[in-house]
Amino acid sequence: MKRIIKVLAISFLFLAALTGCSKEKTYGLNEDVYVKNSQGEYRIKITDVERKVSKKNENYVEITFEVENISISGTLEKDEYNFMAYDKKGKSCSSYLILGQNNLKANKGEKYQIKIGYYLDSNDNYIKLDYSDNYLSGNKDLTFVLEW
């Protein structure tokens, strides 16, 4: 009986340690995040977040981010497709199209800014963005949590 209790206690401690180690790192506003992939390295930084109202009187949030190509020899192109957005309750947010953005790519040593938008159903000043370096893979590489 003592042996079973010992085994259970050790198993519980081991699982608790693993759970504590898996805490996800999140990034916020104006925080430089460096991403390395098989082609090189680039930087992402969310520089602004602003709640707005559309012409149809719908709440949305406009997020500005900067992308800098540090060492990728080809053209770097990142846009709204690299992000998935969630509200405070974990509900997925639909994209809000922001028109008039051109030249959303950077050669080595260059950077650009892009604005992306998401509809918000609630009045919470919170949005979580999961970022994927390769959105076709379905893998999440980074998480931004923005509160304003």
Per-residue model confidence as pLDDT tens digits over 6-62: 544 455 444 444 444 557 899 999 999 999 999 999 999 999 999 999 999 999 999
Q: What pTM, to 2 d.p., does this model score? A: 0.81
Q: How far apart are CA 54 and CA 74, in angstroms?
A: 37
Q: Identify whether the C-beta of residue 75 lies closer than 8 Å to the C-beta of residue 105.
A: yes
Nearest to 112 by CA among 47, 31, 37, 49: 47
Chain segment 117-143, per-residue pLDDT in tens? 999 988 899 999 999 999 888 899 999
